[in-house]
Amino acid sequence: MRKRIQLILLCISAVSMALFSGCEQHEHSYVPDVTQPTCVDQGFTTYTCECGDSYVADYVEATGQHTYGEWEPTTPASCTQAGENTRYCTGTNCSAFETEPVPMLEHVYLPEVYNPTCTARGYTKYICSCNDSYIEEDYQTPKAMHDFNPSTRVCSSCNKHVDDVDYAKYTSGTSAFYLVQQTTSNYDFYVFGSGSIPYPSNLSNFYNVRKYIERAWMSDNITHLPSNGGLFAYFSSLESVRLSETLTELNTNAFNSCYNLKSVTIPSSVTTMYGSPFYGCSVLEKVIISDVESWCNITFASASSNPLYYASHLYLNDEEITELVIPESVTEIKDYTFINGSFTSLDFSGNVTSIGDSAFKGCSALQDVTIPSSLISFGDSAFTVATTYR
Ligand SMILES: [Zn+2]
Ligand SMILES: [Zn+2]
Ligand SMILES: [Zn+2]
Ligand SMILES: [Zn+2]
């Protein structure tokens, strides 16, 4: 037993002598390594000696200065609700974040057009995706005209008989004239009949009211306007007119002094215009036809019998005719047919044998007119511009 203790003591002293002798020859030389503070963690310096000995000192307070990333929408704003953005600190070990409110968005309204009917005005409804909507009261369009069947006189849209919507009515034989009040200050004028119709001088208050008529409509089956008065004369508010598709002539004063009439559609049934049906239509700028052949078929008594004399712009349905092509079937271009037209080119089909007086007079935009070799007769002042022969 004693021997064993002696042995242990011997060993301890040997180890401690060895340690003591090593340190005696080395002075620590510490190299500092600075760890910067972050927003949440202290900074410090680690001093390390090449022998491996080290210690930590020089603690510095955490900065508390968070470094935030980009704002991210956490609750997107809409037109019904405010939103919220969030941004997070990018520092290690840090869970700090900030939020900011995002104001509610404006509504985005898209227009939805509701066309008028004969019983309700048209309007545009502005609707947002959130279903919020509004209607601009001031911009409602007028009610549509009724669409009366010429025989039954019942409207195909509202099923009302014209007698149930009338404001004033005058009947003579098979003809009937109605004034339908559209708003407090304007009227629609409906004419029914067949063949020739009389002038509605006995229609209640007609002479006073006619200047407030904005729209006029004629049923089919009428062939002749009244011979004893211009049916639409002095309709100084007239904006649109629907002529009977069976009408064969437009006579003197038919539209005299319709100061507001910008366009007129001539049915292809019309074959004669005489006098000055559009005298005083100072803003007339559009003559609408449905085929050029029928237009070439009309006999105009004088230059001013032709509405083109005032309007200059000839339309084939919705499209203005700028490059006029005379159809193959047309052999005769009558007097005044295209007077004052604003055509830029003219192409004869080759079958035209005669061109009437002043047929193209005043067509000053025409260039390079080539006269067809088929031509036999050529009227006075047919052209304003120079022409060459093929
Ligand atoms: Zn050391
Ligand atoms: Zn932080
Ligand atoms: Zn909305
Ligand atoms: Zn109706």
pLDDT tens for each residue of 229-264: 899 999 999 999 999 999 999 999 999 999 999 999
What is the sign, positive or negative, of the torsion defined by CA atoms of 45, 48, 52, 56? negative
- Choosing from 89, 118, 139, the residue where a domain stops is 139
Residue with tokens 């010429």: 150
Do residues 323 and 347 lie in contact, with contact meaning Cβ atoms separated by under 8 Å? yes
Q: Among all ligands shown, which has an atom nearest to the Cα of 98?
A: 2
Q: How far apart are CA 336 and CA 303, in angstroms?
A: 6
Q: Compute the distance from residue 117 Cα to the ligand 4 centre, in Å.
A: 7
The whole-number pLDDT of residue 1 equals 46
| Residues 134, 117 within the same domain | yes
Residue 87 three-state SS:
strand
Strand pairing report for 54-60 and 43-49 = antiparallel
Give, in order, the Cα–Cα distances in Å from 282 to each of 92, 211, 241, 314, 323: 83, 16, 16, 16, 25
Total domains present in the chain:
2
Residue at 171 is within a domain: no
Proximal ligand: closest to the CA of 130: 3
Q: Is residue 21 part of a domain?
A: no
Q: Would residue 274 count as lying in a domain?
A: no
207, 217 in Cβ contact below 8 A?
no
In tens digits, the chain (390 residues) has pLDDT values of 455 555 444 444 444 444 444 455 789 999 999 999 999 999 999 999 999 999 999 999 999 999 999 999 999 999 999 999 999 999 888 999 999 999 999 999 999 999 999 988 899 999 999 999 999 877 788 889 999 998 899 999 999 999 888 778 899 889 999 999 888 788 999 999 999 999 998 888 899 999 999 999 999 999 999 988 899 999 999 999 999 999 999 999 999 999 999 999 999 999 999 999 999 999 999 999 999 999 999 999 999 999 999 999 999 999 999 999 999 999 999 999 999 999 999 998 778 999 999 999 999 998 878 887 888 777 877 787 666 665
Ligand nearest to the CA of 119: 4
The answer for 16, left when phi > 0, alpha when psi is -120 to 50, beta otherwise, is alpha
pLDDT at 389 (0 to 100): 61
* Centre of ligand 1 from the C-alpha of residue 60, in Å: 25
Centre of ligand 3 from the C-alpha of residue 81, in Å: 10
Q: Is 268 in contact with 309 (CB distance < 8 Å)?
A: no
Which ligand sits closest to the CA of 93?
2
- Ion ligand 4: residues, CB < 5 A: 118, 146, 155, 157-158
Q: Is residue 84 part of a domain?
A: yes
Task: Note whether residue 121 is domain-resident.
Answer: yes
- Residue 90 maps to a domain: yes
Contacts with 389 (C-beta within 8 Å, 6 or more apart), sequence order: 370, 371, 373
Q: Look up the domain containing 80 and give its range.
A: 72-102
Q: How remote is the CA of residue 320 from the centroid of ligand 4, in Å?
A: 31
Ligand 4 center to residue 161 CA distance, Å? Answer: 8
> How many whole angstroms from 235 Cα to the centroid of ligand 4?
23
Q: Check residue 17 and give its pLDDT.
A: 47
Of 284, 339, 281, nearest in space to 309 by CA: 339
Q: Which residue in 287, 308, 316 sits closest to 358, CA to CA? A: 308
Ligand number with the minimum distance to the CA of 117: 4
**Which tokens belong to 278?**
């559009």
Q: Do 98 and 77 share a domain, yes or no?
A: yes
In the reported structure, the alpha carbon of residue 58 is separated from the centroid of ligand 2 by a whole-number distance in angstroms of 22
* Cα(241)–Cα(8) distance, integer angstroms: 131
CA of 50 to the centre of ligand 1 (A): 6
**Ligand that comes closest to the CA of residue 28:** 1
CA 380/CA 357 separation, integer angstroms: 5
Distance 88 CA to ligand 2 centre (A): 8
29 CA from centroid of ligand 1 (Å): 6
Cα(95) to ligand 2 centroid in Å equals: 6
Q: CB atoms < 10 A from the CB of 10, how many? A: 10
Instruction: Name the closest ligand to CA 78.
Output: 3
Q: Tokens representing 300?
A: 């105009």
- Assess if residue 32 is contained within a domain: no
Q: Distance from the CA of 13 to the center of ligand 1, in angstroms? A: 23
Domain check: are 119 and 98 in the same one? no
Kindly identify the ligand whose nearest atom is closest to the C-alpha of 105. Answer: 3
Q: Are 179 and 200 in contact (CB under 8 A)?
A: no
d(CA 264, CA 386): 31
Return contacts of 245-249, CB within 8 angstroms, 24+ apart.
245/220, 245/269, 246/220, 246/221, 246/222, 247/218, 247/222, 247/223, 248/223, 248/224, 248/272, 249/224, 249/225, 249/273, 249/274
User: Which residues, including other chains, have CB under 8 Å from residue 280's CB and lie 6 or more apart?
Assistant: 256, 257, 258, 259
* End-of-domain residue from the set 91, 122, 139: 139
Residues with CB under 5 A from ligand 3 (ion): 79, 107, 128, 130, 132
For residue 153, the ligand closest to its alpha carbon is 4
